[in-house]
Amino acid sequence: MRATTRWLCASVFAFAAACGGDVSESGSPGPAPAAALTLSPVSWNQANADLGTVATVLESGKTTAVFGSNGVQFFAGGVLVATDTVVRAWRVAATVPAADGISTWMIGVDAEGKLLRVRPEAPPEDVTARFGLTSSVHALAGAGDRAAFLVEGGFAIADGKNVTRYDASDQRSIATAQGRVAVATERGVRVLEQGRETDIALPGAALVAFDGGGRLFAATPRCVYEISGTTPTLAYDAGSRTVRGLAGAGANVWFAVDGDLGLLVGGKVSVASGGALGPDTRLVGSPSGDVWSTSGGKLSRFSAQVARGEEATWIATVRPVHDAICASCHGARGSGKDASNLDLSTYALWGARKAKIRTRVVDQAGTQTAMPPKGAGYTLTADQKAAIDAWSK
């Protein structure tokens, strides 16, 4: 491929308030508060193959490739089919259009920033030069005929024929879909499309992602935005929490907020609670709509469970009471918050104890046998009591 370098003229970014976008400036109300999200862990490694310390994962057709201290482990249909142990230190990985412009390649970026093509039947092959790159690659993305790379001092876009180098500073994240490439930098999001460049002011932009429909999302450490045209619209305000990951997955866009996962779909936002993801969390979207997370070297896969009917009511009205009060003593066995010896950590467990809960919380309120126990330092507000009253009728 032919490599060229383009210099971008400095662009002037307007200053936008934190978590504002155009929303707060126009005075319109922000997004609706996040609903509760229920996650189901997805079992994808049926034989429980040891994964070592996982750095990242990619899905390509029916193949899932796990990159980590065990090398690259290839799974098909939930079964480990091949392992390559040559390289055991990885940064990121993605499926990108090949440098020959015909097929797609599974590429892992090793600890030095080299691009290594991986496949079950052959050892990793260094293809850094095939993409016209020399410098250290930090991140990559691929879709359609486009491969995009964050490199030292800028980024590069390969379209199967040419590789174009762009200089940039403070570049943090790159994504591509439907011929568009988006790069998050300290000052905002730069979008490149058919040779045109657009700079969208979004101070602190750290993450970018496209959903399967080509809609663009960006996140700062405090907020998640959907960007249409050149306008960022606030989709989620993390308040005092920190947004740490963003990934498109089919129609879904997932984000991590402190230990929890959040989901944006169809303009609605929902956030799970009680998660244990670490500050190093990274997300990888699955084309199925699921999300992969890596945190502390541990790989997990989740799908969003859409609650209906009574469960949805419980999630919306009772679970917040559980999280705030009951969870301190009624956690799952071994959680360290199980002093009561009665696990009430799920909807099903509440359902099974419905009458007892009503007796202790509603009927016996104010007595010695009330829940939460008298004198233990917990009291229900009138609203919290009303929520349990209404649910347990």
Interface with ligand HEC (CB under 6 A): 321, 325-326, 328-330, 339-340, 342, 353, 356-357, 360-361, 371-373, 376, 378, 380
205 or 321: CB nearest ligand HEC:
321
Question: SS3 of 25, please?
Answer: helix
- For residue 307 the two structure tokens come to 């609650």
110 bridge partner residues: 90
CB nearer to ligand HEC: pick between 218 and 321: 321
Q: Please, which residues bridge with residue 270 across strands?
A: 35, 263
Identify whether the C-beta of residue 371 lies closer than 8 Å to the C-beta of residue 361: yes
* Shortest CB 341 distance to ligand HEC, Å: 7
Report the nearest approach of ligand HEC to the CB of residue 333 (Å).
14
Q: Shortest gap between Cβ of 310 and ligand HEC (angstroms)?
A: 17
Rounded least distance, CB 229 to ligand HEC, Å: 47
CB of 367 to ligand HEC, least distance (A): 11
Residue (24 or 317) nearer to ligand HEC, CB: 317
Residue located via tokens 């009291």: 379
For residue 51 the two structure tokens come to 């994964």
Residue located via tokens 């997300």? 283
Burial category of 271 from C-beta neighbours within 10 Å (exposed 0-12, middle 13-18, buried 19 and up):
buried
Smallest distance from the beta carbon of 312 to ligand HEC, in angstroms? 19
CB of 325 to ligand HEC, least distance (A): 5
Q: Where are the alpha helices (DSSP H) in the chain?
A: 21-26, 309-313, 319-324, 347-352, 354-358, 382-392
C-beta of 387: minimal distance to ligand HEC in Å? 10
Residue 388 tokens, joined = 């349990």
Residue 10: CB atoms within 10 Å = 7
* Nearest distance from C-beta of residue 340 to ligand HEC, angstroms: 3
Question: Quick one: how many helices (H) and strands (E) in the chain?
Answer: 6, 30
Look at residue 31 and give its three-state secondary structure.
coil
Burial class (CB in 10 A: 0-12, 13-18, 19+), 353: middle
Q: For residues 19 and 315, which CB has a smaller minimum distance to ligand HEC in the complex?
A: 315
Cα separation, 44 vs 57, whole angstroms: 12
User: Among residues 19 and 325, whose Cβ is nearest to ligand HEC?
Assistant: 325
- Residue 248 or 372: the one with the smaller Cβ distance to ligand HEC is 372
Select from 67, 59, 64 the least CA-distant residue to 46: 64
Give whichever of 238 and 361 is closer to ligand HEC, judged by the CB atom: 361
Looking at residue 160, the DSSP 8-state letter turns out to be S
Name which of 150 and 361 has its Cβ closer to ligand HEC: 361
Tell me the β-bridge partners of 118.
106
Residue 36 corresponds to which amino acid? Answer: A
Q: Which lies closer to ligand HEC via its Cβ, residue 41 or residue 375?
A: 375
